[in-house]
Amino acid sequence: MDVRKQIDLKTDVLIVGGGAAGLSAAVAAARNGLKVTLVERYGFCGGGAVAGMSGTICGLYQAFKPEKPILEQVVFGFANEFINALEGRNGIGDPVLYGNTYTRVHDPLVWRHVSDGFIRHENIQVIYHAMVVGVITSGNGSDEVLGAKVFTKQGLLDIRAKMTIDASGDAEVVAMAGLPSFIGDEGKVQNPTMIFRILGVDVEAFIKKYGDNAIKGQEVASLIQSKNEQKQYFLPRSKVFLFPTTRPNELLCNCTRILGDDGRELNPLFYQDFTEAELNGREQVTEYARFFKENLIGCEQSFVNDTGVQVGVRQTRQVEGKYKLTNKDVVVGSKFENGIARSAWPIELHSGNKPRVEWLYNDFYEIPYECFIPQRGKNILVAGRCLSAEHEAVASARVTAQCFAYGQAIGEAASICIKNNLQPNQLSGSDLRLVLNQKGAQLN
């Protein structure tokens, strides 16, 4: 039993998680003059983009038909502001081709500094190295969330908040509060990937040989398949994404596909699966790096520089919201009057031995506010990849530009609710959209 004294804190908005969504929500709420407390288990912000080293900001631009490349941006607002700040520190590259769209490669080290800059500038109380381990409810069966219990090395914090935003990526608060949630496609989630960077690459020679599209083509895929079949290497994924970065002689490698020791697909919500993902992820990094060095032009002198702090987790638990974004919404480009964010990202489903990519050309879809309101519960909103969306829809809606947009919208929603004494389901998505447009989201 922990005999240390509990520490009591009070705030207006408690944000759980400092990924793209959590930071963006924190900035929006702080700019509305509210006291904001952000709790993050690591010692830095960035979540999947930094700790998982996902490495690029996807979802900013529309996809185009292969014969007609265009660069058409669809997400603005805080995403733009964050990108400008990254640019100011040389922490993001120009748009690079990614299949039939573009993405922008960022530097995860610069991301940390830029996030800290926003936190200090907006006077956000950030508590790093702090893990939410429980939720505080009124306990009268009303599903009223009053805040969270947080583990720190100093002892347990009891943080009381007028509104709690679950930006944990895993719908942690929702689950702890016993509010409705679900996991993937009947429990099946997309596979984790351990991302890594290699240095010592002759990037010019590499691009000359394999082209400037980060999704590498058939030549590389066939080579991987044949070496794998000959059992020279263990390379379970043949369609690989390799990006030049903002740093010289470097490639960011999104190529592993991590399975359990017995070949099962892993769900990082389970502690054994998460552990196996780390162990097997590091082994696969070694295998792919060896394959690159021994087989790919430009990579002859390459070596692993670093991996993500943790294995990259694409999908776990999601909230059951007042609305669930459907696979069809994504494919047909649905628009909603209560749409509070846009996405043009394809369905990029990492399941099986090859990622499946399904494009929405020259269009975008919108994500309604109700995807972030739990079906039940008071004083709680969700932001980020744990939104309410079907399995394939979330394989599109989860990327970074969208998570920035969700965070901004939900930080704004929390502020309106607190100031007007409303519950999240009493605020209309179309009113929220108006406010977001006034603040630069460019949704119209």
Ligand X SMILES: Cc1cc2nc3c(=O)[nH]c(=O)nc-3n(C[C@H](O)[C@H](O)[C@H](O)COP(=O)(O)OP(=O)(O)OC[C@H]3O[C@@H](n4cnc5c(N)ncnc54)[C@H](O)[C@@H]3O)c2cc1C
Binding site for ligand X (CB under 6 A): 16-22, 39-42, 47-49, 51-52, 54-59, 131-132, 167-170, 172, 193, 195, 254, 312-314, 384-385, 398-400, 403
Least Å distance, CB 300 to ligand X, is: 26
Least Å distance, CB 166 to ligand X, is: 9
**Burial of 362: CB neighbours in 10 Å, binned 0-12, 13-18, 19+:** middle
What does the alpha-carbon distance between residue 343 and residue 325 come to, in Å, rounded to a whole number? 12
Q: Using the minimum distance from each CB to ligand X, give the nearer residue, 307 or 400.
A: 400
Q: Using the minimum distance from each CB to ligand X, give the nearer residue, 80 or 202.
A: 80
Least Å distance, CB 151 to ligand X, is: 8
What does the alpha-carbon distance between residue 374 and residue 387 come to, in Å, rounded to a whole number? 9
Quick one: which H or E segment has residue 404?
helix 400-420
**Burial of 140: CB neighbours in 10 Å, binned 0-12, 13-18, 19+:** exposed
Phi, psi at 337, each rounded to 5°: -70, -20
Q: Using the minimum distance from each CB to ligand X, give the nearer residue, 134 or 180.
A: 134
Least Å distance, CB 105 to ligand X, is: 8
Least Å distance, CB 132 to ligand X, is: 4
Q: Using the minimum distance from each CB to ligand X, give the nearer residue, 64 or 372.
A: 372
What does the alpha-carbon distance between residue 393 and residue 353 come to, in Å, rounded to a whole number? 20
Q: Using the minimum distance from each CB to ligand X, give the nearer residue, 73 or 430.
A: 73
Question: Sign of dihedral through CA atoms 49, 53, 56, 58?
Answer: negative
Query: Which residue type is seen at 143?
Result: D
Name the token pair of 368. 């309604």
Q: Using the minimum distance from each CB to ligand X, give the nearer residue, 190 or 338.
A: 190
Name the token pair of 214. 């980060």
Least Å distance, CB 33 to ligand X, is: 24
